[in-house]
């Protein structure tokens, strides 16, 4: 009986197809007695609504796609948690795909989601994304697209972000107020906006406090890894002994820095202080604990889904609404590394 349709149930119970559909969806204009009768029969025959048939009727798949740049990332796992909680409240299924920070793979993942007739796409763009043709493909099909964390200023899409410049400024300002004057920066790749903004926040803090910017004290982390942080810290100790603090674009390079400094018996923070960004769980587990910027990942995921759902309702009503930029607050978390 697995191939039963709403029409079959309606015929058996001598009801209209509309009444059966409304009863299963708990519409208030259907009596409790009729709802109970329909549900009891549906359970008896093990009826499962046909998702494709529902899509043909409503043009909604009740599926959203999410593209994240890294799977093994504490921050993005928190974002996914927020998305999935919000999606469950609206009976949405979530397809999660990984771009592995690859522009080419990101393009393929977008095409895969579009072939699944998703109702919307939430994504954090890859570090190597340099062209927005695949992004424009989504918006041209009138499918809601919401960026979170990493986004492009060149695309007219709703976004949920933090103010990376202000957060980075606060992180470097803290180091300066601790008496640090020679501050190195482990920056991220050149393309992502958040990497750019964290670098600019670093520069602004130096300028604000009258500290000279030294480009040779900026080290680029293309993989944003602990290995890069470890190697660059070794270079700092051997070639730039005057450096007394490190501000990293993310926690992993900062953790690599702490590992090297601990191995060399260099006192943290007295000789070199270390500041991260993101507040991974491990930041509070290492010794010394890593000072960092806390990003509200779960809230970011929840807000991203809410923006998508609002846009979808506007599209269904034929309403053309302005794209929204939701900016979330961050916190400076002070631990023993500073």
Average pLDDT, rounded, for the chain: 92
49 and 38 Cβ atoms separated by less than 8 Å: no
Summarize the confidence of residues 245-273 as an average pLDDT. 98
Q: How far apart are CA 105 and CA 101, in angstroms?
A: 8
Domains of the chain as residue ranges with CATH: 6-49 (no CATH), 59-162+297-331 (3.40.50.2300), 164-294 (3.40.50.2300)
> Does the pLDDT value for residue 261 go beyond 50?
yes
* pLDDT above 60 for 51: no
Tokens of 328: 């979330």
The whole model's pTM is what? 0.82
At 59 the pLDDT is 59
d(CA 171, CA 190): 20
Question: What's the average model confidence in pLDDT over 322-338?
Answer: 95
Is the pLDDT at 204 greater than 60, yes or no? yes
Query: How many residues are recorded in the chain?
Result: 338
pLDDT tens readout for residues 144-171: 999 999 988 888 899 999 999 999 999 9
**CA-CA distances (angstroms) from residue 243 to 55, 218, 248, 261?**
60, 11, 14, 13
Tell me the two tokens of residue 177.
Answer: 């107020």
Model confidence over 226-235: pLDDT tens digits? 999 999 999 9
Contact between 337 and 261 under an 8 Å Cβ cutoff? The reply is no
**Least reliable range by pLDDT among 57-71, 111-125, 253-267, 294-308:** 57-71
pLDDT score, position 1: 43
- Which of the two residues, 49 and 173, has the higher pLDDT score? 173
CA pair distance 169, 277, nearest whole angstrom: 12
**Helix segments in the chain, DSSP class H:** 6-13, 17-24, 32-44, 51-58, 74-89, 103-115, 133-140, 164-177, 193-208, 226-239, 251-263, 297-317
With contact defined as beta carbons under 8 Å apart, do 20 and 36 qualify?
A: no
- The residue-averaged pLDDT of 195-215 equals 97
Query: Quick one: average pLDDT of 204-208?
Result: 98
Q: Return the structure tokens found at 81.
A: 């948690």
Please state, for a pLDDT cut of 90, what percent of the chain lies above it: 72
- Answer whether the bond into residue 288 is a cis peptide, omega within 30°: yes
Q: How confident is the model at residue 328 (pLDDT cuts 50, 70, 90)?
A: very high
Mean pLDDT of 198-219: 98
Predicted confidence (pLDDT) at residue 2 exceeds the cutoff of 60: no
Q: What is the pLDDT of residue 56?
A: 46
């Amino acid at each position: 009986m697995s191939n039963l349709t709403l029409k079959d149930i309606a015929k058996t119970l001598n009801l209209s197809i509309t009444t059966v559909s409304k009863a299963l969806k708990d519409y208030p204009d259907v009596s409790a007695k009729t709802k109970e009768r329909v549900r009891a029969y549906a359970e008896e025959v093990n009826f499962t609504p046909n998702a494709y048939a529902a899509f043909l009727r409503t043009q909604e798949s009740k599926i959203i796609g999410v593209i994240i740049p890294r799977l093994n990332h504490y921050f993005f796992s928190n974002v996914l948690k927020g998305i999935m909680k919000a999606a469950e409240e609206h009976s949405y299924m979530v397809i999660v795909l990984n771009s592995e920070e690859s522009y080419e793979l990101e393009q393929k993942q977008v095409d895969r989601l579009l072939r699944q007739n998703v109702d919307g796409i939430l994504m954090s763009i890859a570090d190597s994304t340099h062209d927005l043709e695949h992004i424009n493909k989504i918006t041209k099909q009138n499918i809601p697209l919401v960026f979170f964390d990493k986004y492009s200023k060149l695309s007219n899409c709703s976004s949920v972000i933090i103010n990376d410049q202000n957060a980075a400024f606060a992180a470097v300002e803290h180091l300066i107020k601790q008496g640090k004057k020679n501050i190195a920066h482990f920056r991220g790749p050149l393309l992502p906006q958040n990497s750019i903004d964290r670098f600019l926040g670093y520069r602004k803090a130096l300028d604000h406090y009258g500290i000279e910017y030294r480009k040779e004290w900026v080290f680029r982390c293309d993989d944003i890894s602990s290995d890069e942080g470890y190697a660059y810290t070794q270079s700092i100790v051997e070639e730039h002994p005057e450096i007394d603090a490190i501000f990293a674009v993310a926690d992993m390079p900062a953790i690599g820095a702490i590992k090297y400094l601990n191995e060399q018996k260099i006192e943290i923070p007295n000789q070199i202080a270390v500041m991260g960004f993101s507040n991974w769980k491990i930041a509070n587990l290492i010794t010394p604990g890593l000072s960092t910027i806390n990003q509200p990942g779960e809230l970011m995921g929840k807000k991203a889904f809410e923006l998508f759902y609002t846009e979808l309702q506007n599209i269904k009503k034929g309403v053309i609404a302005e794209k929204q930029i939701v900016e979330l607050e961050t916190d400076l978390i002070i631990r023993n590394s500073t």
